[in-house]
Structure 1
């Protein structure tokens, strides 16, 4: 971006005293900030989608303005209506409507890195009748104004504060020493500039907390009653806490004898709220590192000390965190989900979540059957996708594996590259896909039952609170899945292998290739399961190794779920592909034996009676290396096939409509783990949070009345009117 040039906007005062910027000033602001054309087009689409036509021109009223700027799916308790607070900042003409030029300036303001504090400053600066233009000068932002305003006086701060606090709120003493340190005496000349204002707002909540405690501590003994503590927290931080925590606020008195709450406990609780993002990071990281996915207070404090330069949390603060997460039971080891009610302000109890469901789930047996069927279909599509991509590799793998060194005459293939070249020369490109039809017909139930059984067993064995599963159960789930798939795999592979080798045999021996139906009739039902023992010996350890490695690669290497991380396509493909490498190579001997047993022996070739006989004869006649013949090709085929299969399966489960009664474990979703929203909307939300730190009802009174707080408000307009009369 080019350096911002110094441009002073032209301010126009209308006859009624309203203030507006000229079109030249608007254009100057856009030009000075060098707003990209694509950004302007995006703003225009948002504006046009929400604007209403008034007197032939498009404008945003407070409601449509909120629709335009409010974040979607905001993980907080800030009501959408409260975003109307910012309407006053955007409505520079004070006419109750925001034009396209006004909206452009507002969005441009949101591009500032300190837009959140600047919006709050603009809200308090009720005397200001101009806009601003930041200029980049070295490392500092310089605000350029069209007149001498752009500061906050004692009266401005007090009036804006009072206008947003109801009559029942705990009183705030504006004549306190703390305010005087920033603003001087009431009738003094000291005022707040922008930088001073930011520091005042950062410390304001602490001063309000101190004054509120002193006000409610009637006998000045350093303690207040539980209901008084709840009143304080609701006023200054109610929007940051879930309803479950709010209801249990009075129970803080149980941490110490006397059934009352001390000032130190109030301060400790407030510090936990202020540092909630750090609390969440520590909890997520600490629970991820423990074997059982649970932590106690010692684990929390130890991880806090190891992850920061200085001690962030005191033992009292840790006790408060575990008190509300553990529902008052001390010395518990808690999982991440236990802390959800403290970390997520929109958290609801399980029974409340159940009430929000569209309808009751079907009967348990029917529910399980339908859910498994749904996953079965997804697994079938994913398996077909993966098999099609890697089928040529499988074709090249099978031919060298099935040839034997005892064949009469010379070997047909020297290696996999020689095999691929000869298949292409003798059969053309389509030769690489010979036998694909039966493969696709059979691969759906084969891969589907493997994925479905693995998911079913893992779901049964997984701790619903921690999401952890023991290694033994992981291996059992994968092994059982591999064993179940043999029902479909063995008939499929024996037909596929015989179809694949027919093409080359037809060229060499002059025989006409037979179809799949002929092979099935020739083999019979029992013949279709020839070599099934070797197939079990291959598929059970393969799946046990594969699925276990896949889930650990996702979690440990690619950090899935760490602070809410979701894997990308490449990361999912990488985890699935890497997991297939050891699984494929280590089970190659069983695959070699299975292939030899399933291939019809021709004259001059060794015949095998069974699994053990095949192992012994291959080892004696061809050596140990023969058991790993085709191993690299098997890795090259199995690794990408399962990579693309798992990628397809995970993608379908993510983007297709979920099974209606899918019972997924509850997750802790917060702003820390949410998918990043547009940065300008984040800054608009953060500006609201700064104002809500003044009082939890900030902006709510205006929203409920339908009239946004603005300079047109009688309580705020008197200062502007007097200033204009003086001019």
Structure 2
């Protein structure tokens, strides 16, 4: 796909209306922006996306009259905001403030943005410095390409209210940028960007000096709150704004010093770095909590210089800890400081029987929802690896024993009478395919799918339930002991469904080849269930417990620690990719599957229907003893590699399916989420909208009221 040059794709607008196309004088805003447009190539797919956005918000009438010849379509200020504003920021930044950017897009000064204008504006947003570039265009009122002292002063005053804290335009700081000597000193684009970066600090200094009438270096808490609201109110949540006066409690005297005001402003200005340090430090902490020392230590370890002072750290923990700055805090405690959109979770004022009953029903409904998702995920994983499982079972029971050729078939201890069926796993695959075709690899899948839903569902649901109860609700951490308990309990509970399922499945799997060998007709699952009876379906249950409890106790903790400690899930808000999640789930299944193979071998031998000449096992202990005597220690790990090959991908795909079901089909009636979603962790928005938002925030550094008075 080759990019298209913008002038070749922009529509030509012909109109006799004087306001349609003003003269493009050299150096004018229109001429300068058209130059930018022609210098940047835009892929055709992006132009189409812009067109869809434009058409979705534009209209073709002006004051109720159609102007098809003049304006095919256009955006008024409200429609323009709909097209360019990120939806996530409209809580703290008003729509009228986003409309300030309309003035930059409306290059022809007609009160309308055409498709031509919109493409130009979107093209500007592709610049890496789009935020400062748009701010420069806003202050460049005469479209000259430079900003004079008067332009800066007039635009500044036009966007702050009459009751705002006054700003001295004759101060030395302004003169450093816009001083006069032998004429007027004007600002080019580069100089303007530096002025805007330092403007808020000068605003803060002047505002403090304005309230510090007696020049003792202190102001009252209400004055501090007014300063912060004017220059940074859009960067703070309502909870932090309400508690701004409490900054007086950090030092004796009941007033706020200039040092504290500057420290608070530095925290706001470096909030992205504050968040990164907090996320990293809490992620590495053993208990998921940090104190001021942990914060400063991690800051020193991950930054080149001491970025934050002890006073700034104290302010961070003061507002996150709701006044108790000395406690160890979890990531969730910092949410109100990190995210200006933060809302306090709704708290139940009064507990009553009705609400308690509703809460219980809610938990039951959520568990049932998870149960269904677990069943779907389990069926998916089982279907993918079922051929491997078939080969594993056949080889484990009828496979390659080297000493069979030496076996005296008249001796009762010789386990199998007859020919050697499979030399190895590949030989097993070839013979199953030759004798039964491709569908032979799915022999016994029906009962497996019928039983796998409750089996996997109960394992996943029980594990999640116990983990959620043992988990610290603020840090999301759980002690290793409880991880083992959750996994082991889940494995034990699933045996209720696992044992009947597997005994039927195993007998269905082995009878295909043995029936051909003996000339018998294969029996169905119903016949096997009737033959076994209720108690027979739980034959080998003790071995099944011996296998499933340690399997799950190993598997689930390994899975969660691989995700978090190896692949870094949650680190700075990271979400794992599909392959990372699949690798975590699959790798965790390897040790769990292999180390529980002895129990699986014994369980399988107990559950298979013994034929004439085969060794009969009376129980768990008897099976262990006889297998060891007849076949040696290696027999306990017979089929171990095949079990790893089968169990690892099965649980990998099962867990991945379960995670993605939770992600894309979450329980719809969940309460408040305890995760901390900020700009760093939220799903990425369209980059042009992000840059439009950042351009407005640079203007808001002038005043929180910027754009409310004029657009």
The verdict on a shared fold, with TM-score over 0.5 as the criterion, is: yes
Relative to structure 1, is the Cα distance of residues 537 and 655 closer, same or farther in structure 2, using a 3 angstrom cutoff?
A: same
What is the DSSP-based 3-state SS (H/G/I as helix, E as strand, rest coil) of the residue aligned with 2:346? helix
- 2:396 pairs with 1:381: no
Q: Is residue 2:690 matched to residue 1:690?
A: no
* Partner SS state of residue 73, structure 2: strand
Alignment of 1:585-604 (within 5 A): 585-604=594-613
**CA, structure 1 residues 493+354, in 2 after alignment: closer, same or farther (shift >3 Å)?**
farther
Shift of 1:362: 6.0
1:321 counterpart residue number: 316
Cα distance between partner residues in 1 of 2:19 and 2:318? 58
Instruction: Report the Cα offset of residue 311 of structure 1.
Output: 0.4
Where has structure 1 moved over 4 Å in runs of 4 or more?
Answer: 1-7, 9-18, 20-31, 352-355, 359-362
- State how far apart, in whole Å, the 1-side matches of 2:263 and 2:32 are: 49
CA distance in 1, matches of 2:613, 2:6: 89
Q: How does 1:544-563 map to 2 (within 5 A)?
A: 544-563=553-572
Please list the CA deviations of residues 159-212 of structure 1 after superposition, one character each: whole Å capped at 9, or x if unmatched: 000000000000000000100000013994100000000000000000000000
Please name the residue that 1:725 is paired with. Answer: none
Quick check: 25-34 or 398-407, which moved more? 25-34
- Displacement of 1:342: 0.7
SS at match of 1:350: coil
The residue aligned with 1:716 is: none
Aligned to 2:134: 119
- By how many angstroms is 1:688 displaced? 0.6
Q: TM-score, normalised by structure 2?
A: 0.91
Q: Tell me what 1:109 maps to.
A: 124
User: In the alignment, is the contact (CA less than 8 A) between 1:402 and 1:596 conserved in 2?
Assistant: yes
Deviations along 1:584-615, one digit per CA (max 9) or x if unpaired, are 01100000000000001111111111111111
User: Is 1:584–1:634's contact at 8 Å kept on the other side of the alignment?
Assistant: yes
Is the 2:3–2:43 Cα contact (8 Å) retained in structure 1? no
Aligned pair in 2 of structure 1 residues 402, 676: CA closer, same or farther (>3 Å)?
same
| CA-CA distance at 1:663 after TM superposition | 4.0
Query: Where does residue 340 of structure 1 map in the other structure?
Result: 335
Give the distance between the partners of 2:141 and 2:384, measured in 1 at CA: 66
Task: Name the residue aligned to 1:679.
Answer: 687
**Residue 40 of structure 1 corresponds to which residue in structure 2?**
47
- Residue 369 of structure 1: CA displacement? 1.7
Q: CA contact under 8 A between 1:165 and 1:695: conserved in structure 2?
A: yes
* Equivalent in 563, 575, 578 of residue 587 of structure 2: 578
Deviates more, 1:53-62 or 1:450-459: 53-62
Q: How far off its partner does 1:19 sit? A: 3.6
In 1, Cα distance between the equivalents of 2:518 and 2:448?
A: 25
1:142 paired residue number:
none
> Do the aligned partners of 1:293 and 1:468 also contact (CA within 8 Å) in 2?
yes
8 A Cα contact 1:75 1:346, kept in partner: no
Distance 2:19 2:57 in 1: 28
The Cα offsets for residues 419-463 of structure 1, whole Å up to 9 and x where unpaired, read as 111101111111100000000000010000001100100000010
Task: Tell me the residue number matched to 1:172.
Answer: 167
* Partner Cα separation in structure 2 for residue 336 and residue 80 of structure 1: 31
Question: Does the CA contact (< 8 Å) of 2:20 and 2:108 recur in 1?
Answer: no
**What is the DSSP-based 3-state SS (H/G/I as helix, E as strand, rest coil) of the residue aligned with 2:113?**
coil
Structure 1 CA distance for aligned equivalents of residues 425 and 394 of structure 2: 8
Residue pair 1:117, 1:198 contacting (<8 A) in 2 also: yes
Q: 1:357-376 counterparts in 2 under 5 A?
A: 363-376=358-371
**1:423-434 paired onto structure 2 within 5 Å:** 423-434=432-443
Count of equivalent residues: 678
Alignment of 1:506-525 (within 5 A): 506-525=515-534
Q: Quickly say closer, same or farther: Cα 1:25–1:175, change in 2 above 3 A.
A: closer
- Contact 1:483–1:540 at 8 Å: present in 2 too? yes
Q: In the alignment, which residue of structure 2 is the partner of 1:616?
A: 625
Cα 1:83–1:649 shift into 2, 3 Å? same
The 5 Å alignment of 1:294-693 reads 294-351=289-346, 363-403=358-398, 405=404, 406-656=415-665, 658-663=666-671, 665-693=673-701
Judge conservation of contact 1:75–1:671 (CA < 8 Å) in 2.
no
Give the match for residue 132 of structure 1. Answer: none
CA distance in 1, matches of 2:348, 2:302: 35
Give the Cα separation in 2 of the matches to 1:75 and 1:289: 34
Matches of 1:103 and 1:261, distance apart in 2: 47
Cα pair 1:386 1:644 within 8 Å, conserved: yes
Rounded Cα–Cα distance in structure 1 between residues aligned with 2:522 and 2:6: 79
Q: Is the 8 A contact 1:51 1:64 kept in 2?
A: yes
Alignment of 1:269-284 (within 5 A): 269-284=264-279
What is the distance in 2 between the residues matched to 1:2 and 1:266? 50
Question: Displacement, 1:13?
Answer: 13
Instruction: Measure the CA separation in 1 of the matches of 2:31 and 2:149.
Output: 34
Does structure 1 retain, via aligned residues, the 8 Å contact 2:300–2:306?
yes
The answer (yes or no) to whether the contact 2:288–2:330 under 8 Å persists in 1 is yes
Aligned mates of 1:190, 1:181 — CA distance in 2:
10
**Which SS does the other structure have where 1:512 is aligned?**
coil
Deviations 1:317-345 (A, max 9, x none): 11111111111113111111111111111
Distance 1:367 1:74 in 2: 32
Seen in structure 2, the aligned counterparts of structure 1 residues 371 and 430 have a Cα distance that, compared at 3 Å, is same
Task: Call closer, same or farther: CA 1:5–1:377 in 2, change over 3 Å.
Answer: closer
In structure 2, what is the Cα distance between the partners aligned to 1:420 and 1:412? 11
Change in 2 beyond 3 A, CA 1:59/1:665: closer
**d(CA) in 1 for partners of 2:202 and 2:31?**
44
Please list every run of 5 or more consecutive structure 2 residues that lacks an aligned counterpart in the other structure. 62-66, 405-414
Structure 1 Cα separation of the partners of residues 292 and 90 of structure 2: 27
Instruction: Provide the secondary structure at the position in 1 that maps to 2:87.
Output: coil
| Offset, 1:505 | 1.0
Residues 154 and 186 in structure 1, CA contact (< 8 A), matched pair in contact too: no
C-alpha distance in structure 2 between counterparts of 1:250 and 1:27, whole Å? 49
Q: What is the CA-CA distance between 1:501 and the residue it aligns to?
A: 0.6
Contact 2:4 2:43 in 1 (8 A): no
